[in-house]
Each structure stands twice: as structure tokens, then as C-alpha cells.
Amino acid sequence: MELAKLIEIRRDLHRIPELGFQEFKTQDYLLQFIKDIATNRVEIETWKTGILVKVQGLNPKKIIGYRTDIDGLPIQELTGYEFSSLHDGNMHACGHDIHMTIALSALKHVVDHPLQDDVLFIFQPAEEGPGGALPMMQSEAFIRWKPDCIFALHIAPEYPVGTIATKPGLLFANTSELFIDFIGKGGHAAYPHLTKDMAVAAGSFISQVQEIVSRTIDPLDSAVVTIGKMTSGHVQNAISETARLEGTIRTLNPDVMTIVKQKLENISRGFEISHDCKINIDYGSNYYQVSNDERFVKLFQDMLEKSEVHFVEAKKAMTGEDFGFMLKEIPGFMFWLGVDSPYGLHNAKLSPKEESLEVGAKTVIQLLQTVSGKI
């Protein structure tokens, strides 16, 4: 597919970002494209707002999976693009418009030039939350067409266009959202003895949480517990009856995630006694680590050495991706695609260079061709 067409598709999708499991316009757009290029070798199934497309191979023995995410983020776009989001308060600030465009290009190529093996293209909703990978894997269509290997990419603003990065083993962390609600007793600021102040309780709780990693986790392991938001109270002369903390947990070991959560719950029980209050913890969306299969990464690296793409060894990161659930059951890998943006992921001014579309599409097509017949 020519770069001009890739840019057109990317901009169409960029205009209609939708949140997890609300990607109705996005699904319609993708389905229209897919049906326009489909032949009798193509089977299409929908699951909620997601889509699964299987392209029959010439002499199939295995199924190769390729996954793209399709949702946007609740961020007000500030790029100034002529093709900026038409959905107020929503933006493709994580590059999923780029991801989808590359997947469509690879799909068209495989339809026009079938491989030996079948290829399953997975257009997955709700990657940003509440998490679409795990429930989609439990769908009838996914189970019927479960791939023997699976691949995906993610844009990397920090790498120049033409650079690809990945690594064998752990690439992304285990992640969990964190929501903590404190319930006490409010009252007049002049009578603190008649209240149970949840602003004080939540503030003390934040300080206590900072000791979890430093005094509970093995220094040779890695973990992050961040409280990014605190809300409490209504006016300056009233003591807060409730408080809410919102944050995230990230670990490089799933067992450490369990330890951190147990410690949080132990601390909360102590605070319920010491502050005479009720504390509720909700872990929200949880994502499993992205761990790349060494064999397939080596095959990919050898492939790139014969191309014009520049390969670099990626570093593992505390970022999260629910593609990890797929890699937990199916061998494969995720790789970074350089897009050279001065603004990072989840930034309202994220501006990937569109030349990366061609690099990404060619790389994915070459990967599918390379893997076919070698699984």
C-alpha cells in the first residue's frame, strides 16, 4: 500500500478516537475496509467492538497471529492537526491509529499475496482499559482460531523513523491500577474531636505506602507504587468524611505484584483500626507482563539485518500492555516502532511522523512472510 493511502487511513482513524468497548465508529470503519478487500479466502468475526479476520493460507499447517489495539484515550488533543480528533475529550494519544493502519496494510497484502500458513488479524478493543485482550481470548472465535504464534508492535516516540527495537524475555511490566477509598466521619473544622478525618488518614497512608518497595521488596527485584491523585473534602472549614487515592502498581515479577497487594491490604487494615474508618481497595485493570519468545526475536533480528531498518536492543520498561496476556499463552513478541515525536505516549501533543507507517507496514509484512512455514 502506498504511503499516501496509509496516511489517509491513519488520519481517518485519528479523527474518531473512542474509549474501550465504545469503538463503534472505529469498528465500522475497519469492517468497511476489510469487507472491501475480502475474498473467499477471508473469514470475519466480530466480538463486542473488536474484529477477528482469518486469511486462509495456500497450504496451511499453522495459524500466525497479528494483533493491533483500536481504542483511544480520554485526553483532549492539543496537536493542532487539521485532522485532529472530532470527539471532544478523546484522542489517539498512544498511537493506536498508527497501529491499526499498519495492520490493515499487512492484512491487504496477505489477502492479495497469501502465505503458506493461515494468518489471524486481531483488532482488539479496550487495551487502555478496562482491558480487552483477556476476555477476547475467551471468545468462541479466538478459541477456534487460536494462533500458534502471535506478534504486535507499539510506536516509540523516542526512536527515529527507521529504527526497530525489541529484546528477548521481559519487555513490559506487570501492571495494576489502584483505587483506595477512605470512609470516616465529617464535621465542622472547629470540632475535630467529633470527627474521623479522612484527609489526614489518606495523607498518612501515602507516606506509609512509600515504604512498601524500599522495605518489603527484594532490592534485586523491581517495583513501583505510585499515588498519582488524591481527592478529599469540599470546603476549607469542614473536616473530610471521605478521601480517595488513585495510583498504579508496576512490577517485573508477577509474584512481586502479589506481595505488594498483600502489603497494601495489611496496611489498610491497620489504618482502619488506628483511624477508626473503613477502607476499600479496588485494583481496577490488571495487565500481565510482556515477555518475548527468544526464538522468534532471534528470527526477527536476523530478518532485520538483511533490511534497511536499524535494529537496536530495547531495554525492559515499567510500561504495561495487555498483549502480555496473549504472550502468556502463545509464543511471539512485541516490538517498538520508531516514530520520532518530541512528545511522548499519552501526551496531548503526541505527533508521530507518518513516514513510520511505511516502515511499520513493510516490517510486519516481512515478519509474517518470514515466520510462515517456520513455526
Q: Tell me, what's the pLDDT at 311?
A: 98
Q: How far is CA 336 from CA 132, 152, 296, 308, 317, in A?
A: 21, 9, 15, 16, 12
Cα(17)–Cα(126) distance, integer angstroms: 12
Q: Tell me, what's the pLDDT at 374?
A: 85
Query: Mind listing the domains of the chain with CATH numbers?
Result: 3-169+289-371 (3.40.630.10), 174-286 (3.30.70.360)
- The one-digit pLDDT tens for each residue of the chain (375 residues) are 999 999 999 999 999 999 999 999 999 999 999 999 999 999 999 999 999 999 999 999 999 999 999 999 999 999 999 999 999 999 999 999 999 999 999 999 999 999 999 999 999 999 999 999 999 999 999 999 999 999 999 999 999 999 999 999 999 999 999 999 999 999 999 999 999 999 999 999 999 999 999 999 999 999 999 999 999 999 999 999 999 999 999 999 999 999 999 999 999 999 999 999 999 999 999 999 999 999 999 999 999 999 999 999 999 999 999 999 999 999 999 999 999 999 999 999 999 999 999 999 999 999 999 999 888
In a 13 Å sphere around the CA of 336, the CA atoms on its Cβ side amount to: 27
Cα(375)–Cα(57) distance, integer angstroms: 14
Number of C-beta neighbours around residue 269 at 10 A: 11
Q: For residues 217 and 223, is the Cβ–Cβ distance under 8 A?
A: yes
Cα(94)–Cα(319) distance, integer angstroms: 12
Which residue has 513501583 as its cell numbers? 224
Query: 23, 97, 127, 128: which is the annotated catalytic residue?
Result: 128
Q: Which residues contact 141 (CB under 8 A, 6 or more apart)?
A: 45, 47, 52
Query: 18, 23, 69, 71: which is the annotated catalytic residue?
Result: 69
**Whether residue 128 lies in the annotated active site:** yes
**pTM reported for the whole predicted model:** 0.94
Residue 199 host element (H or E): helix 198-216
Q: How far is CA 263 from CA 177, 184, 245, 288, in A?
A: 15, 22, 16, 20
* Residue 155, all three cell numbers: 510506536
Q: Tell me, what's the pLDDT at 76?
A: 98
Q: Tell me, what's the pLDDT at 190?
A: 98
